[in-house]
Amino acid sequence: MNFAVAPGASAETSHIISEIWHFYENEFKTILIFAAAVLSLMLIKKNERNVMRRRNFTGFIIAAIIVHITGPALTGTKELYFFSMPLPWSSFSIQAFNTTTAFHESFTGHWGVAGLGAVLIFVVLYNIVVFAGTLLFGRRLQCSQLCLFNGFASEVFSAAFPLNGKKPRKAGRVLKTVFSVLRAVLLSAAIFFTLTSILSAAGFINEVNNPLMYKIETYKYLSVELLMAMFFWVVFTGRGYCYYCPAGTVLAFISKTAGQRIRTDLSDCIGCGKCDKACPMSISIKEQALKGKPVISMNCVGCGHCVDVCPNETLGYSTWFIDLINSIRRKRKLAD
């Protein structure tokens, strides 16, 4: 209604629709995240530690308050959530600063030049936090604590997924191949749109074909990302989109540099298989745990479900930076 009905309605009706839309996207969504987080913790089995999940929920609640409540209040931009995903997830944030695009005209009309400037600062700071944070803490920071698109939905509703009542099976060779191809295609498309938008905003590319390109990207977002993500939520798993999310793929490469892994040597694995059942990304954890070898996977979003359900506390999420912090803490305890 906000994008199809409001533009052609009277000023008063358009204002009412816009206010309802903004309330839904900001205040209502924040309330939903908080309520779902509390209910999820109540539904999770009491014999699980839930340390990792509690941290996830805390991260999402804080992110929602910043992106949906505090941020819009400080910047005067009620659609700040459009810019709360790191590049190259989409080029929407870049389009807003390209003075020749309809996207820019639309946002400037709503926010003004000052508001757009505040959003630019937010975009830069958000990307710095995400990429620097990933180098320190791995993919977990964005995918399991900050992502208000697919991350929060899959995490806070994890106790209810999948909605059809059937637990997802391990991905077979064919399905893995499909996801790998889809990941490569979506990443390539995202990088193309991002680089083209940057060059266009800088004046290095002619604007003639850009309207068509932006339409293609919008349709890609509505179909391949938004609708398909919802399909996975209902049928298979809340983390279905995370297999091929372009931003997640880039962060997965960075997380390798960060040394992200699931440690399996904190105690002896008893082979119960609870970790494999808990993993929303269908990663084979038990096989590595029985050998005492770390689990290193491009698909790992660092949610920590496997860590929480392990009855023997064999598993632990780690990076080189986390290892360093833990080492310093141990030395301080010994010194005390």
pLDDT score at 303:
94
Q: How confident is the prediction along the chain (336 residues), in pLDDT tens digits per residue?
A: 655 666 667 777 777 877 888 888 899 989 988 888 888 877 776 656 788 998 999 999 999 999 999 988 887 788 888 788 898 988 777 777 776 666 666 666 555 666 677 788 888 899 999 999 999 999 999 999 999 888 888 887 776 766 665 555 555 667 778 778 888 998 998 898 888 888 877 777 665 456 677 778 778 888 888 887 777 776 777 788 898 899 999 999 999 999 999 999 999 999 999 999 889 888 999 999 999 999 999 999 999 999 999 999 999 999 999 999 999 988 888 887
Residues of the chain with CATH 3.30.70.20: 259-335
pLDDT score at 158:
75
Distance separating alpha carbons of residues 118 and 7, to the nearest angstrom: 25
pLDDT score at 78:
81
Q: Nearest-CA neighbor of 120 among 140, 147, 95?
A: 95
**CATH fold for the domain made of 259-335:** Alpha-Beta Plaits (3.30.70)
Helix (H, G, I), strand (E, B) or coil at 317: strand
Distance separating alpha carbons of residues 90 and 92, to the nearest angstrom: 6
Distance separating alpha carbons of residues 61 and 146, to the nearest angstrom: 9
Tokens of 35: 């309520």
pLDDT score at 5:
65
pLDDT score at 210:
61
Q: Are 96 and 103 in contact (CB under 8 A)?
A: yes
Q: Which helix (H) or strand (E) holds 318?
A: strand 316-318
pLDDT score at 255:
96
Residues β-bridged to residue 262: 295, 317
> How many angstroms separate the Cα of 213 from the Cα of each of 53, 102, 182?
39, 12, 20
Residue ranges of E strands in 142-282: 261-263
